[in-house]
Structure 1
Amino acid sequence: MHHVDPKMQECIENCLACYRACLSTAMSHCLEAGGKHTEPDHFRLMMACAEICRTSAHFMLIGTPHHRHVCGECAEICSECAADCERIGGMAECVDACQRCAESCRQMAA
């Protein structure tokens, strides 16, 4: 296996944690809460965020230089998702995971 630099390893972990947080929050908390939590734009954003996080982790794990582009997009989507989850409220775990992921993906994209 190729050597993964510690910053990249941290980013992979943050991406996977955000993937889990967005997916589980959407599928349990949001679906059960309904209302604003299941507005199509919000729900799609959470699904997009989960998927781009999974994809970013995948690109870093396979060692392709294309991870920079994907991580740049991931940082944008995570920031948007964090803001939207904060706006709706009651999703602190998701907000935190998105913010951590956005920050480490910004570093990977640089």
Structure 2
Amino acid sequence: MSIQKYKECIEACNICAVYCDNCATSCLQEPNLENMAECVRLDIQCAQICRLAVAFMAQGSEYAQDICQLCADICQKCGDECGQHEAEHCQECAQACHRCASLCASMVA
């Protein structure tokens, strides 16, 4: 089994998970934590689904496309939320999330 067909998507998911972890941790240091709660919640969920998608793609699972579709949806929502905040870590996370969402959606199509 070759995971080459998933290579770019796996890389994007791994990068997205790292940016989401960083964003969630950084958001917890922001002065107005109440405004960051949804961002933190989505960061955590996005990082988790990205790592799950990577595992399913690496295994060549018959469910990889289903997981990747869900990953695309969550990444899009997380990226949209992060994009609303001015903090640099949020903007960087938004970019990583939107790229991952696009690649996961393309992989499913």
Instruction: Return the TM-score normalized by structure 2.
Output: 0.89
Question: Which runs of 5 or more residues in structure 2 are unaligned?
Answer: none
Question: Which runs of 5 or more residues in structure 1 are unaligned?
Answer: none
> CA shift at 1:105, angstroms?
0.3
Alignment length (residue pairs): 105
Structure 1: 4+ residue segments shifted above 4 A:
none
Q: Aligned residue for 1:9? A: 7
Provide the rounded CA distance (Å) in 2 between the counterparts of 1:34 and 1:76: 29
> CA shift at 1:89, angstroms?
2.3
Give the percent of matched residue pairs that are identical in Structure 1 and Structure 2: 35
> CA shift at 1:69, angstroms?
0.5
Q: Indicate whether 1:73 and 2:70 are aligned.
A: yes
Q: Aligned residue for 2:83? A: 86
Q: Indicate whether 1:103 and 2:98 are aligned.
A: no
- Match of 1:33, SS state, is coil
Provide the rounded CA distance (Å) in 1 between the counterparts of 2:58 and 2:103: 15
Provide the rounded CA distance (Å) in 2 between the counterparts of 1:51 and 1:104: 17
Q: Deviations over 1:15-35 (max 9, x none)?
A: 0000010012211x1011142
Provide the rounded CA distance (Å) in 2 between the counterparts of 1:62 and 1:96: 27
Instruction: Return the TM-score normalized by structure 1.
Output: 0.89
> CA shift at 1:56, angstroms?
0.5
